[in-house]
């Protein structure tokens, strides 16, 4: 993934940088760009794949049926939306609700990466296969990795089934509920994820 560094010291500045973004073709069909919402100090951050029709209309993430299920799942572990942060891998709606293309995710990745840096969550929960693959940088098999705690860059990545998939496939609903209980357990653990050593650090160390 592209590791472009964006000049934004706050979520507000980052959102301003995104205004009118035309870095990938998804800009042409959007009604509203969906930046994200929630607590800027969230310990738990959720990342879905892309805005859908309802999100595009309102400019907010997870406002349709999948969003209502997400609210219920959060309530089940004693949390509300205002205590977490929710966004997507891409900030504009793909036509026909298709998966975002690799080049679209690549174009939008610097914004997501900076969002994560600014919020500094303990856990990033990837909602669905596309978000999990984007965060982990590889194709994933959700049936194998859902609910597990994996190392990100200074945060843990926990992939879970997408709420929309659970609504379509009731058999994955109980797995999703169990994975949310795991999320609560992971949040309560004191352990923090290791941060990847940047390429500059070894050079700095040699100076001393
Ligand atoms: S999806 Fe991201 S990169 Fe593409 S136009 Fe929207 S904000 Fe820009």
Q: Which residues of 168-180 are buried (b: 16+ CB within 10 A; e: fewer)?
A: eeeebbebbeebb
Q: CA torsion, points 134, 136, 140, 144, in degrees to nearest 10?
A: -140
The alpha carbon of 64 and the centre of ligand 1 are apart by a number of angstroms equal to 21
For atom 6 of ligand 1, the residue with the nearest CA is 92
Which CATH number does the domain housing residue 123 bear?
A: 3.40.470.10
**Does residue 34 sit within a domain?**
yes
**Does residue 6 sit within a domain?**
no
CB atoms within 10 A of CB 4: 10
The alpha carbon of 106 and the centre of ligand 1 are apart by a number of angstroms equal to 10
User: Taking a C-beta distance cutoff of 8 angstroms, is the pair 127, 95 a contact?
Assistant: no
Give the pLDDT confidence score for residue 170 in this predicted structure.
84
Atom of ligand 1 nearest to the CA of 104: 4
**Does residue 1 sit within a domain?**
no
The alpha carbon of 55 and the centre of ligand 1 are apart by a number of angstroms equal to 15
Q: Which domain holds residue 30?
A: 11-206
For atom 4 of ligand 1, the residue with the nearest CA is 24
**Does residue 115 sit within a domain?**
yes
**Does residue 40 sit within a domain?**
yes
**Does residue 37 sit within a domain?**
yes
Among 19, 22, 28, 115, name the best residue to mutate to test ligand 1's pocket (greatest count of ligand atoms within 8 A of Cβ): 22
Q: Which backbone phi and psi does 66 adopt, to 5 degrees? A: -65, -35
**Does residue 4 sit within a domain?**
no
Pocket of ligand 1 from Cβ distances under 6 Å: 18, 21-24, 26-27, 33, 90-92, 104, 107-108
Sheet holding 37-38, edge to edge: 37-38, 85-88, 44-48, 123-127, 156-160, 150-151
In order along its 208 residues, the chain shows pLDDT tens digits of 545 668 899 999 999 999 999 999 999 999 999 999 999 999 999 999 999 999 999 999 999 999 999 999 999 999 999 999 999 999 999 999 899 999 999 999 999 999 999 999 999 999 999 999 999 999 999 999 999 999 999 999 999 999 999 999 988 999 999 999 999 999 999 988 988 765 444 434 333 3
**Does residue 5 sit within a domain?**
no
The alpha carbon of 40 and the centre of ligand 1 are apart by a number of angstroms equal to 21
Looking at the structure of the chain, the number of domains it has is 1
The alpha carbon of 200 and the centre of ligand 1 are apart by a number of angstroms equal to 29
């Amino acid at each position: 993934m592209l590791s472009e560094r964006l000049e934004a010291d706050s979520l507000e500045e980052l959102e301003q940088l995104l205004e009118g973004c035309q870095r990938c073709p998804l800009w042409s069909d959007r009604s509203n760009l969906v930046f994200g919402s929630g607590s800027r100090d969230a310990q738990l951050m959720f990342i879905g794949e892309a805005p859908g029709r309802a999100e595009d209309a309102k400019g907010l993430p997870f406002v349709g049926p999948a969003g209502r299920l997400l609210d219920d799942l959060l309530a089940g572990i004693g949390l509300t939306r205002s205590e977490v942060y929710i966004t997507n891998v891409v900030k504009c709606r793909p036509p026909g609700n298709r998966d975002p293309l690799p080049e679209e995710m690549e174009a939008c990745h610097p914004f997501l990466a900076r969002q994560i840096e600014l919020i500094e969550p303990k856990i990033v929960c990837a909602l669905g296969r596309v978000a999990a693959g984007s965060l982990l940088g590889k194709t994933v098999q959700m049936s194998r990795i859902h609910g597990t705690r994996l190392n990100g860059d200074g945060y843990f990545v926990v992939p879970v089934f997408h709420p929309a998939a659970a609504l379509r496939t009731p058999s994955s609903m109980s797995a999703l509920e169990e994975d949310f209980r795991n999320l609560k357990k992971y949040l309560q653990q004191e352990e923090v994820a290791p941060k990847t050593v940047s390429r500059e650090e070894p050079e700095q160390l040699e100076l001393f």
